Amino acid sequence: MSPIETTIHLAVPPFPYFMECGRTVYEPGDAHPDRSGLGMFDLILVEQGRLHIGEEDRQWEAGAGNTLLLLPDRYHYSVRPCEARTSFVWIHFRALGEWGIGDTAEPAFADRERHAAEFGTPPYTIRLPQLGRLPGGSAEGERLLRLEERSLSGAVWERQRVFEELLRSLDLRRREPSGSPAESIAERTERYLRSHYAEPLTAASLSEALHFHYNYLTRCMKRINGLTPMEYLEEYRLEQARLLLLRTETPVAAVAERVGFETAPYFSRRFSARFGVPPLRFRQRYTR
């Protein structure tokens, strides 16, 4: 059996988009079809009974209340037939952005700089359990099935919205309990970085100011935001620099100093990696 902590990481934007859905009912002795190269993610919401499904070298037993996410480029097969009447809602969707698989909370696939240059923002990583449970039952699945009966023109926006609500309910990053130690420490770290971003911050000075070891701060930030404190600091500095370039005529070297970069050349390299153009050209593009 596969470990339940196996996680699928989806970098957004762009957000995954809904393709189609339906309900399947198996009687005892029926089995899920074997197939490969589906080309779409197959999200299964089990309503009753139990499915026995394999994917390459992983195998699962998905019972009522379980969700199972099958990957678009893998071979799927029946491990054994259903032993009781089994019904489930299936949802096909595509992801145009990067995705990967792992068993930790940290995505190991996204090229943050390339993503930021292409989409204008660093990636948010949706973390979906490959085998999990759907909070609150399968209400979104029922809503999608009802919308599937309507014409495309009348339901296209509503289907995508309900589908994104479903993904949000499954996102492991959103299930972090409000007020949890990790969330609280991550918020404290964010507030401190935003208040002191222009100062020459280091891992040691941040640890001293917040009274936690830097490795612990990193674990909390990665769990909640997907960034280390220093990665978050650079993202915030670059965003403040972008605003200064757009709203003021402050020279580029002075902008670099004001937002906390030690040298203008290093600032220019990081800004170019983040926004795809050097700071001066960025300003010329958007101002007259």
Contacts of 148 (CB under 8 A, 6+ apart): 20, 21, 22, 155, 159
Distance (Å, whole) CA 17 – CA 157: 11
State residue 18's pLDDT score: 94
The label of the residue with tokens 């074997």 reads 34
Encoded tokens for 8? 């699928």
Phi, psi at residue 55, to the nearest 5°?
-140, 110
CA atoms within 13 A on the CB side of 20: 3
This model's pTM is above 0.75: no
Q: Which helix (H) or strand (E) holds 125?
A: strand 124-129
Alpha helix segments (H runs only) across the chain: 112-119, 139-148, 152-170, 181-196, 203-210, 214-225, 229-247, 252-258, 264-275, 279-286
Distance (Å, whole) CA 168 – CA 126: 8
Contacts of 130 (CB under 8 A, 6+ apart): 2, 6, 7, 8, 58, 60, 68, 69, 101
Q: Which helix (H) or strand (E) holds 67?
A: strand 66-70
State residue 3's pLDDT score: 44
State residue 66's pLDDT score: 93
Distance (Å, whole) CA 201 – CA 287: 32
Distance (Å, whole) CA 110 – CA 118: 12
Q: How many residues does the chain have?
A: 288
Distance (Å, whole) CA 30 – CA 57: 22
For residue 174, give the DSSP letter: G
Domains of the chain: 7-174 (2.60.120.280), 181-286 (1.10.10.60)
For residue 32, give the DSSP letter: P
Encoded tokens for 253? 């070297």
Answer whether 255's CB lies under 8 Å from 245's CB.
yes
What string of pLDDT tens digits covers the 288 residues of the chain? 444 468 888 888 889 999 999 999 999 999 989 998 889 999 999 999 999 999 999 999 999 999 999 999 899 999 999 999 999 999 999 998 888 887 655 555 556 667 766 776 777 788 899 999 887 666 778 888 888 877 666 688 889 999 999 998 888 876 655 557 888 898 999 999 999 999 999 999 999 999 999 999 999 888 777 789 999 999 999 999 999 998 999 999 999 999 999 999 999 999 998 888 999 999 888 766
What amino acid is encoded at 270 in this protein? R
